[in-house]
Structure formats: C-alpha cells, structure tokens
C-alpha cells in the first residue's frame, strides 16, 4: 500500500452536462483528496501529446474534436492506491461493459464521450501530472 497521486480529467461532456459536482462528490466520498484542480481549455498539441498512443486510430479525429469541444476540469487526486482505485471508480474504457455505480457505467453511452480520464499506471500519472500541472 502506498499513497499515490493520479491525474484525473473531467472531460468536456462532464462540464456541459453539469456533472462536475456529482463526480467530484464521488471522488471525495471514496476518501481521496483533490490536491490541485483547474478548469482549462486544451489545444490540439496537448491533446496529441496526451493521446499519443491513439494518433493512428480511426477514431482519433472524433476524440480530438471531443476534447476541443469545451473546457476540461483537471485534477491531481491523492490517496492510498489512488491510481488503480480511480480506474475502478471510473469503470473501464469500454463503457458498454462499465458496471452501474461506476462513473462511466452511470454517465456514458459512447466509447469516445466517456466523461472522465484517469492515469492508467504510476509512470503515466507522473508524466500526465507534469504535463498538466507543470
Ligand atoms: P482510457 O481513457 O480508459 O485510459 P484509452 O485507451 O487510453 O482509454 O483511450 C483514451 C480515450 O480514447 C478514451 O477514454 C475514449 O475517449 C477514446 N477511445 C478509446 N477507445 C476508443 C474506441 O474504441 N472508440 C472510440 N473512442 C475510443
Ligand atoms: Mg488511457
């Protein structure tokens, strides 16, 4: 067990649908701390960096348009085993397999428009926190 920090980003649909309070509340009720947070607009360059592993995918242009469609709410979330723990709270990438009670299971019906990002490993968390919070 170790206290970890993870990069969490509430995607543009979460803001457009006024789900920020609901999702932040779930993170807090779980017992994690939000240690930094900011609303920010992304540009194509930072999106390409963040999703470099998906640049060749046929859905990349849809993903880019989604992430440009409005501000995101970027957070550093801290807690015991918070990286995997937040992935569990979020639900899997495949929203059709996401269980009710998870954020994606409760709020997402589209493979791209899936409401929330969370780092998938300690290495990714370090890179992403640096990328978005310096
Ligand atoms: P993750 O967000 O669960 O870590 P990744 O594979 O890193 O999943 O994909 C990043 C984002 O790209 C997803 O959150 C989703 O918005 C989008 N995405 C991933 N796979 C697909 C797909 O098969 N079709 C459409 N969009 C996808
Ligand atoms: Mg990912």
The pLDDT tens digits along the chain (134 residues) read 899 999 999 999 999 999 999 999 999 999 999 999 999 999 999 999 999 999 999 999 999 999 999 999 999 999 999 999 999 999 999 999 999 999 999 999 999 999 999 999 999 999 999 999 99
With a Cβ cut-off of 6 Å, ligand 1 is lined by 51, 54, 59, 63, 93, 111-112, 114, 117, 120
Could you tell which of 72, 93, 104, 110 is best to mutate to test the pocket of ligand 1, judged by most ligand atoms within 8 Å of the CB? 93
The structure's pTM equals 0.98
Domains in the chain, ordered, with CATH?
3-133 (3.30.70.141)
SS3 letters across 40-84: ECCCHHHHHHHCHHHCCCCCHHHHHHHHCCCCEEEEEEEEECHHH
Query: How many other C-beta atoms can be found within 10 angstroms of the C-beta atom of residue 99?
Result: 11
CB 59 within 8 A of CB 111: yes
Q: Which positions ≥6 away from 18 have C-beta within 8 Å? A: none
């Amino acid at each position: 067990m170790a206290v970890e920090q993870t990069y969490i980003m509430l995607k543009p649909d979460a803001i457009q649908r006024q789900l920020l309070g609901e999702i932040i509340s779930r993170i807090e009720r779980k017992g994690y701390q939000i240690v930094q947070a900011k609303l920010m607009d992304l540009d194509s360059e930072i999106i390409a960096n963040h999703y470099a592993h998906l640049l060749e995918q046929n859905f990349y242009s849809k993903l880019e348009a989604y992430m440009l469609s409005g501000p995101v709410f970027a957070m550093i979330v801290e807690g015991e085993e918070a990286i995997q723990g937040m992935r569990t709270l979020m639900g899997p990438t495949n929203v059709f397999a996401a269980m009710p009670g998870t954020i994606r299971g409760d709020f997402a019906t589209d493979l791209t428009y899936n409401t929330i990002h969370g780092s998938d490993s300690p290495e990714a968390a370090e890179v992403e926190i640096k990328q978005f919070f310096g």
